[in-house]
Structure 1
Amino acid sequence: MPDLTPRFQEVAPRVWVAHYDWMHVNITLIGGSDGLLMVDTHGSAAQARVVADDVRRLGAGPLTGLVNTHEHWDHHFGNATMVEQFGDVPIHATEWARDHIEESAGRTFESYGQQPDHPRREEILATTLHLPTHTFSSAVQLDLGDRAVELIHPGRGHTAGDLVVRIPDADVVLGGDLVEESDPPFIGDDSWPLEWPTTLDLVIGLMTDATVVVPGHGQVVDKDFVQDQRIELGVIAETIRDLASRGVPQSQALAQGEWPWDPERLESAVRLGYEHLPRSQKRLPLI
């Protein structure tokens, strides 16, 4: 017999989270009297059809809107499928994310196009982009009927266009990839490692001690977890500043720094950190 247990699990009143093994992605549904708001849509059209089936199995109401937490493919490649399955619903994102989705997706398609043996190659390349339709720059409130949901751009971190979702009446915050549980947060070529800690400070300011925090990847966490992750990101940022101020060249920074994570994960962080530092915080090495 097939397993009929709903994949979406209620983590707070009318807030359901489904965790998918592929990339440990989380998809969240927020219920209101007008219907369901879905946050992120997964990494391919094929996987999004699985998510759509899980939404129907939950049976909590019609899907009336989508949110993309940022422009990376694993959070929006399911957009077109959701529109096909549930109708032409509004899709919300920051202006930055909407303006950079096509560029970011192009890099993804190019990367998987060069991996002929990757098991997910064909399904990723078969994905059709569907851009967000509703954008904002700093914050916006969505009306779900008997519930208000806040979308907030707290600053630059994982990308320049991250948003977090706050559900005040349920005391839930969805962190996108500003918070990750399955691995340390990914600092990539479009991240802002020096600003990420202060961006998380604003996110933490949205929380109470009892807040349920849903990361972009991994298991549901709490405020203490986010504070610990902020400390680690802060150590990375301050180590970069310290090394640069002492004249340590970028090429030697990974070897000379004392890092909270495996240095191999921090190549982009160091390169970007050195690039983003103002000249006043860099000391040129003596020749």
Structure 2
Amino acid sequence: MHTTGRFTEVADRVWVAHYDWLHVNITLVGGSDGLVMVDTHGSTRQARMVADDAARLGVGAVTALVNTHDHWDHWFGNDALVTAYGDVPIHATQFALDKMVERGGRHDAHLADEPHAEEILATELRPATHGFSSAHPLVLGDRLVELIHPGRGHTAGDLVVRVPDADVVVMGDLVEESDKPWIGDDSYPLEWPATLDLALQMITPATVVVPGHGELVDREFVHDQRSELGIIAETIRDLAGRGVPATSALEEGDWPWDPSLLATAVQRGFEQLPRSQKRLPLA
């Protein structure tokens, strides 16, 4: 097993580095024709550290980048890594690519509250360059790497990276270990469980699962997180079907997580329910 610095080999020619800031995971997948890096961290400074760590590993040249979705902590390092590696392709779902292009060079205003605000705001933004809709193969000589969009969940443009011969699946933020998955104002809480059902079809009891944040997990962990998200989705449907208004749902529901984490989930869920699944609010 080849380990240098932060990168640890977790399966044959698959390395993962865990970074304390945001508990972000960066994955390298190697083949005879080079390396693919999955996610690039959240700033130029952090991405330069990633490049240095990858160079110390000494296992080949990075020939492609992959962004698991369009949230800043997973792609703001793109520019620094293209500077380090040359004009390599950057793969993402077409939805994620379009969202990156749409923002242009703008940084989110809320980043001013981040402890690393200065370095984030100084980061040059470089969107992904190669989009796909449902699946895309990357051939690294003797190894096939599969990019798969299993459906909407954390965002509308999540992808997972599957390395079949090594039995590794990189999940992005469809699964998180360091905290509960973030259900934000661009999430799809009602669809997320079905998206994980599809992803679970790729995961065996022996699969190494790399979450977007936190320690490595396994199929049981993904299944449990899917079950919790399923309870959240069904609770939203049940409350709406009984005529409980969205404004009262957090107090009325029997939630698997602290309700303070679910305000946006409830709002999004009620918005995304078809009219036929809602009743008039109870008097």
Distance 1:270 1:123 in 2: 33
Equivalences for residues 153-232 of structure 1 within 5 A: 153-232=149-228
Letter matched to residue 140 of structure 2 = L
Q: CA deviation at 1:119?
A: 3.0
Aligned length: 281
Residue deviations 1:204-263, cap 9 Å, x none?
A: 001111111000000000000000000000000000000000000000000010101110
TM-score (structure 2 length as normaliser)? 0.96
Structure 2 vs 1, CA of residues 193 and 208 (structure 1 numbering), >3 Å: closer, same or farther?
A: same
CA RMSD of aligned residues (A): 1.4
**Separation in 2, partners of 1:199, 1:226:** 12
Shift of 1:99: 0.5
**C-alpha deviations, 1:6-46, integer Å up to 9, x for none?**
21000000000000000000000000001110000000000
Residue 105 and residue 222 in structure 1: after superposition, are their counterparts in 2 closer, same or farther (change >3 A)?
farther
Amino acid at match of 2:144: A
The Cα shift of 1:111 comes to 1.6
What is the aligned partner in structure 2 of residue 146 from structure 1?
142
AA aligned opposite 1:81: A
**Contact 2:105/2:125 (<8 A) preserved:** no
Percentage of pairs with the same residue: 69
Partner SS for 1:29:
strand
AA at the equivalent of 2:33: D
Asked whether the equivalents of residues 245 and 282 of structure 2 are also in contact (C-alpha less than 8 Å), the reply is: no
1:119 aligns with 2:92: no
How far residue 112 of structure 1 moved from its aligned partner, in angstroms, is: 2.3
- SS of aligned partner of 2:262: helix
8 Å Cα contact 1:92/1:133 also seen in 2? yes
CA-to-aligned-CA distance 1:174-199 (integer Å, 9 cap, x gap): 00000100001000000000000000
Aligned-pair distance for 1:110? 1.6
What TM-score does the superposition give when structure 1 sets the normalisation length? Answer: 0.95
Structure 2 equivalent of residue 109 of structure 1 = 108
Structure 2: runs of 5+ lacking an equivalent: none
Q: Please report how far the alpha carbon of residue 107 of structure 1 lies from its aligned counterpart in structure 2 after TM superposition.
A: 7.2
The CA distance in 2 between the partners of 1:262 and 1:230, in whole Å, is 16
